[in-house]
Structure 1
Amino acid sequence: MSATSTGLRHRVTANGNGKISITDEGRKTDQLLDSHTGYEFGGPPGVVFIMTFFPTLMYYLWICLWFYDGQLVYPTSVDDIRPFLLRMWEHVRVDASPNLYAWKVYTGLMVYQLFLAGILPGYKQEGLPVPSLDYKTLVYNCNALLSIYASMITAAVLHYTGIFRLTEIIDNYGHLMTVAMIYGFGVSFFMYFWTVARGEQIRMSGSFIYDVFMGAALNPRIGSIDLKMWAEVRIPWVIVFFLAVSGACKQYEQYGYVTPNMVFMCLATWLYLNACGKGEECIPQTWDMFHEKWGFLVIFWNFAGVPFTYAYSVVYMASHDPSKYQFSTPTYVALFTTLLTAYYMRKSRFKMQTQGIFKYRWTFPQLPWGTINNPEYIQTAHGNRLLTSGWWRYSRKPNYVADWIQSLTWGLVIGTASPIPYFYSVFFIVVLIHRCSRDFERCALKYGKDWERYCAIVKWKFIPYIY
């Protein structure tokens, strides 16, 4: 009996001998998965709620953080509801207006990142076979790392010459956030209409607002630039990093020094940004690139959600006296150690190995044992392979565990001074658990009995021995 039909565990060599091939059975399953089979996120009513609730929540949390000492404020009586809402609106109208400065800065960042993505050389990475393109593989120009360092050098020159002071980023947080939201909505609707006009839509439900939310385009590109991958790395994490640097610059101007807490956030945001750049060749193998469409769900969160909700601790520290969040030396050591340990648990190159397209790419800093040699896997009847080695022996999503631990430290860095910086870790774990359920439901349909065999070996969905 063949390995394909039994789902036995195998090993693949590090250089990727033995490419995967999609079976006829797998093609039929992929065709089903590339059609609309049901609503997610509560369908049209649910996505309308999400599209209105999250922007409102972002304004509310920012106002509490910046103007109310980082504490959650709310009406204390029925009579106070109207005055409370008017105060909230006044903060948005005055302190978060989409002014010309914010438009110039945010638009300038996007244009510059597109420019760098288009001209800089990069590592050419082949993606997974795309069923909707008759299993064609797209090539991705992975030049994020060069773009990141070019952006850092450019920002340093602009800051020290006085052309653009980095402290202005944190000072104009509300204005920039509003412009980012406008871009999030605008690009989402534009991409929907553009894709439908070109006849390139896929997996459509027939509900206008739901399809705007989930997206119509799977692989939108401008020349060699894959917009999904560009938006995932070049916009959110670049902004988050420079927000942290802006906070550090503001502290230095105010106090003549930078607190260890702010240094921690500069390091944490740089590690995350740099990890995205140095491991960019892993991104084309992910769910985001292979299956998720480019709609509001992804666009808004990359343009506005991530950069303006994940670094609340920076906003708090930039607007409050350091005495409110000072720690002992052992606490700082524990924080930095936890961050660096979580950072070490990075992605595997298993999918590239199974395609026979893996090549070792040296980028700084490369840590040892980042690639599993001779990994074990389950060969599926679909034609794909399911990894059962390394961290993936103990969890189906070990990289999610590492990401979540890092997110938790971004709140712990200010202790109990404010609950708002913990939004990232609380929201993130809800998203990850929901994402796991979406992914596993799709895998169960895609792999059938082979998925059951895989789950029998890798028992834990997310956090080993817990969930």
Structure 2
Amino acid sequence: MAVEKRSSDLNPRTTSYEFFGPPGALFVTVTVPLTAYGLYFTCSEAAGGCPPPFDNLFVGAVRAYNDLSWWKNLWDTEAALIYLAWYLFCVAAWFILPGDWVEGTQMRNGRKLKYKINAFSTLLLTLGVASGYVLRYGPESFTFIYDKWLGFVTASLLMSVLQATYCYVSSFYGDKLLALGGNSGNFIYDFFIGRELNPRIGSFDIKSFNELRPGLILWVLIDISMACEQAVRRGGSLLNITDSMWLVLAFHSFYVIDSLYNEPAILTTMDITTDGFGFMLAVGDLTWVPFTYSLQARYLAFQQVELGPIWTAAIIAVNGLGYWIFRDSNGEKNDFRNGQNPKNLKYFETKRGTKLLTSGWWGLSRHPNYLGDWLMAVAWCLPTGFDTPITYFYPVYFAVLLIHRQQRDDENCEKKYGEDWHKYKEMVPYRIIPYVY
């Protein structure tokens, strides 16, 4: 009885919903895969352009709905096997490559889990193998991701479903710590949000692994494949790649390199400390990130854009501004959480004994890092020009995501700090963009 009571105290039933509850969770579960496919069928050569003529798009959609062979084309056995090999390569690299073991934040059961830090080493190994392959066999040897795009999307979706299902089922066995937001008792909602907080196989943490390795590194490989496709079309030499493609490749790669190099920083994020691992994070990590974030590179593979030095410099400046805000603000927060305050920033001490920054970047808004992240998202799209709005899908989606995250964080902080949170909001009234929002 004592064990049951303790388990019940640690894993209370979820009483409030996000995403408008089970209907919203089901809606997102269905629309995320549809959007991943939709961005291909509304922006590709195969579909007839970006976007294709409306008549072609409408007629093609009607025909596809009634054509079994069209649905079969979404599956590619070779692409599925390549994707599985890629995922297993990442797992093997996690086990084999050396790395420090770092403690995460203390959980509500008093424990601190340890995480192996070697994502950056995995990236370096991957880039070394990929570079050697392209140099040995030429750019045309690495265009298979472009050629088998739909097959890879389907394979990643299948992997997402399988992992979410495994984690949901396994959460009912053993003494598991559940996510406070994923224990509603409703299958649709809990499967989507994630029932178990830290699903693991031994010391292998499924959630943190998926957050930084298979999807993020694949994003860079996809960009490289798109650059190779463009090079083949422009004579076969990598020297012929457009300045716009180089910018996208550089921006995306730098973002991934920075994220993986600073891997321990992820251990304090909401994804790790608060959210369970369900279909939401699985499909986000494995499908959404690599196959929607690379849209600009895929567009430039078949629609080449030359920017010139002035536009190139301007876009680099926008990205640099975003990165400075993002990295400097996160640096202030991480230093402060680790008991350091090199800038002598002001702070507000709550009744709980915790401290909230009220100066520096965090005095300008409650989420300045979100602003920097969003500015980088805009910079990634600018190299595609302004001939189509579809390549700007990411910053529009990202703005919605960041606002949703901000609202979730504010709600959690209000529950956590009570009246102190209202006092803090008076000191720092702006949520993301100073003087605007």
The reply to whether residue 275 of structure 1 matches residue 258 of structure 2 is: yes
Q: Check the 8 A contact 1:250/1:318 in 2, yes or no.
A: yes
Give the one of 197, 206, 216 matched to 2:173: 197
Residue 302 of structure 2 corresponds to residue 319 of structure 1: yes
**1:307 aligned to 2:283?**
no
- Which of the numbers 421, 425, 429 marks the counterpart of 2:399? 429
Offset at residue 219 of structure 1 (A): 1.1
**2:86 — aligned with what?**
109
What SS class does the counterpart of residue 378 from structure 1 fall into?
Answer: strand
Pairing 1:332–2:312 present: yes
Whether 2:207 is the aligned partner of 1:228: answer yes
Counterpart contact for 2:64–2:71, Cα < 8 Å: no
Counterpart pick for 1:68 among 34, 38, 48: 48
Question: Deviation per CA, 1:24-60, whole angstroms, max 9, x where unpaired?
Answer: xxxxxxx799651311111111111111122122212
| Partner in structure 2 of residue 6 of structure 1 | none
User: Which residue in 1 is equivalent to 2:62?
Assistant: 85
- 8 Å CA contact 2:366–2:430 kept in 1: the answer is yes
> Percent identity among equivalent residues?
30
**1:263 deviation in Å?**
0.2
The structural deviation recorded for 1:438 is 0.9
Q: Does the CA-based 8 Å contact 1:63-1:91 persist in structure 2?
A: no
Which structure is richer in relative contact order (CA contacts within 8 A, separation 6 or more)?
1
Q: 1:212 aligns with which of 175, 191, 206?
A: 191
Q: Distance in 1 between matches of 2:417 and 2:53?
A: 49
Q: Distance in 1 between matches of 2:145 and 2:270?
A: 32
* Aligned equivalent of 1:242: 221
Distance 1:90 1:309, change over 3 A: farther
Give me the CA root mean square deviation. Answer: 2.6
Return the offset for 1:275. Answer: 1.1
| CA distance 1:418–1:289, shift in 2 (3 Å) | same
CA deviations over 1:119-169 (Å, ceiling 9, x no partner): 2222433221111xx222222222111111111112223333449932211
Summarize the Cα distance change of 1:344–1:85 in structure 2 as closer, same or farther, 3 Å threshold: same
Distance in 2 of aligned mates of 1:89 and 1:265:
38
Picking from 253, 256, 260, the partner of 2:232 is 253
Return the letter of the residue paired with 1:144. Answer: A
Write the letter of the residue equivalent to 1:220: P
The corresponding residue for 2:5 is none
TM-score for both structures, normalised by structure 1: 0.83
Q: CA deviation at 1:282?
A: 0.9
Q: Name the CA shift for 1:109/1:388 in 2 (closer, same or farther; >3 Å).
A: farther
**Residue 168 (structure 1) aligned with residue 147 (structure 2):** no
What does residue 324 of structure 2 align with?
Answer: 344
Which of 19, 24, 39 aligns to 2:17? It is 39
Q: Which amino acid aligns with 2:301?
A: A
The one of 48, 51, 58 equivalent to 2:26 is: 48
Structure 1: distance between partners of 2:67 and 2:435: 48
Letter in 1 for 2:419: K
Match of 1:265 in 2: 248
Q: TM-score, normalised by structure 2?
A: 0.88
Pick the aligned partner of 2:358 from 368, 373, 388: 388
Of 372-381 and 294-303, deviating more is 372-381
Shift of 1:248: 1.2
Which among 146, 159, 172 is matched to residue 183 of structure 1?
159
- Counterpart Cα distance in 2 of 1:88 and 1:316: 25
8 Å contact 1:378–1:387 — kept in the other structure? yes
SS in 1 for 2:386: coil
In the alignment, the residues of structure 2 paired with residue 271 and residue 341 of structure 1 have an alpha-carbon distance, to the nearest angstrom, of 14
Quote how far apart the aligned CAs of 1:434 are: 0.9
Aligned partner of residue 165 in structure 1, secondary structure:
helix
Which one of the candidate residues 132, 138, 159 is aligned to 1:157? 132
Amino acid at match of 2:192: F
Contact 1:271 1:343 in 2 (8 A): no
Out of 101, 114, 121, the position equivalent to 1:146 is 121
Residue 446 to residue 258, structure 1, CA distance change in 2 (3 Å): same
User: Contact 1:98 / 1:175 at 8 angstroms: preserved in 2?
Assistant: yes
Contact 1:95–1:174 under 8 Å retained in 2: no
- 1: distance between equivalents of 2:52 and 2:319? 27
Q: State whether residues 74 and 154 of structure 2, in contact with CA within 8 Å, keep that contact through their aligned partners in structure 1.
A: yes
1:366 corresponding residue in structure 2: none
Other structure's SS at 1:71 match: coil
User: What letter corresponds to residue 228 of structure 2 in structure 1?
Assistant: C
Q: Which residue of 1 aligns with 2:412?
A: 442
Return the letter of the residue paired with 1:437: Q
Amino acid aligned to 1:414: T
Task: Report the Cα offset of residue 272 of structure 1.
Answer: 0.9
